[in-house]
Structure 1
């Protein structure tokens, strides 16, 4: 039998994202965040292409992005509720990490597998933050797909995309547990 890491398994069986709106200060300092970023980058990466990069967003940058989200919502004719939902995590947050899908030309590794790798970085970073005792949440939303927001706010190139924005902080209140998938409805077993 393989060696069992029960603590890691227990964590994964009970992990729960924390809503970004419930996160506050303090946030990880640079040393603590460096550990989380290191863990986040230990993700599946077919071909060792590293088709991603990270942008650490400290509070002033988050406020700037919140203002840009409101401006873009107005320019796109979105209603006040859509604008506020997009801007609020930036305006109230103190630390986030944008995981940027940054594809690498490759004859061996399809673009979709590079996208999956960027998503794996998001989940690894999220889980690292939670395992370290921080509250964390993986968000995207319409701003992540708005090319003007991406170019002006994060200086992304035309081929780069936001895979996710991981908000990290201290949890103000524990969220209630939510229903989890029913394995009988989601799992099919094939033996032949």
Structure 2
């Protein structure tokens, strides 16, 4: 598979089983995040790895967070989150160590974290693993972030080995999202009714 074939066939999956990456594999995979664009060398990435017997404890903290940020959440949603966080082979909490006083704007620092997470997802796929980035209201819970030793959350990556063949979802034609500028405002095919 060429690098382009790999990038064009990668898809997120939460159908994961053991094994997760070994510590050595994980450090190489996380090393790809350090290659994300980082204007000003702010280095805002922070990663907390949860696996093994620590997953059920994290799941209970997720449920407690839901009670704080989604008090109306149905019981089925709460139980689904508990089960997923307790059973994924590996979970990586995506932290954002942002520096509001830095000359680099916060939005750019946040995008650096996102670019790092995408590099991790690509590296997981390139090394035979799989993953999915999950977020939601939990990322706004300062208590949960602090329980993980983070100042801010960007979400969680569920990581493991894909369970069975993974279909490549059909993606939109990039031409619908691309326009050439010739001195006047552009329009996009994706925005037409």
Q: Name the TM tier (shorter chain).
A: 0.7 to 0.9
1:177 counterpart residue number: 168
Asked whether the equivalents of residues 138 and 164 of structure 1 are also in contact (C-alpha less than 8 Å), the reply is: yes
1:161 counterpart residue number: 152
Tell me, in whole angstroms, the C-alpha distance in 2 between the residues paired with 1:146 and 1:84: 19
Tell me, in whole angstroms, the C-alpha distance in 1 between the residues paired with 2:102 and 2:137: 31
Find the partner of 2:65 among 65, 72, 92.
72
- 1:124-167: CA deviations, max 9, x gaps? 11111111110111111222222222223x132xxx22123122
Moved more, 72-81 or 115-124: 72-81
Number of matched residues? 181
Asked whether the equivalents of residues 99 and 121 of structure 1 are also in contact (C-alpha less than 8 Å), the reply is: no
2:187 counterpart residue number: none
SS of 2:35 mapped into structure 1:
coil
- 1:91-130: CA deviations, max 9, x gaps? 1112122221111244420011000001011101111111
Find the partner of 1:124 among 119, 123, 130.
119
Tell me, in whole angstroms, the C-alpha distance in 2 between the residues paired with 1:170 and 1:48: 33
SS of 2:95 mapped into structure 1:
strand
Tell me, in whole angstroms, the C-alpha distance in 2 between the residues paired with 1:40 and 1:148: 26
Offset of residue 189 of structure 1 = 1.8
Offset of residue 39 of structure 1 = 1.5
1:39–1:164 Cα change, 3 Å: same
Q: Identify unmatched segments of 5+ residues in structure 1.
A: 1-5
2:91 counterpart residue number: 96
Asked whether the equivalents of residues 10 and 125 of structure 2 are also in contact (C-alpha less than 8 Å), the reply is: yes
Moved more, 48-57 or 118-127: 48-57
2:41 counterpart residue number: 48
Find the partner of 1:145 among 140, 143, 146.
140
The TM-score normalised by the length of structure 2 is: 0.84
Tell me, in whole angstroms, the C-alpha distance in 1 between the residues paired with 2:144 and 2:168: 33
1:3 counterpart residue number: none
Q: Identify unmatched segments of 5+ residues in structure 2.
A: 184-193
Tell me, in whole angstroms, the C-alpha distance in 2 between the residues paired with 1:35 and 1:122: 14
Asked whether the equivalents of residues 73 and 82 of structure 1 are also in contact (C-alpha less than 8 Å), the reply is: no
Offset of residue 77 of structure 1 = 3.7
Alignment pair present for 1:186 and 2:181: no
Tell me, in whole angstroms, the C-alpha distance in 2 between the residues paired with 1:146 and 1:189: 41
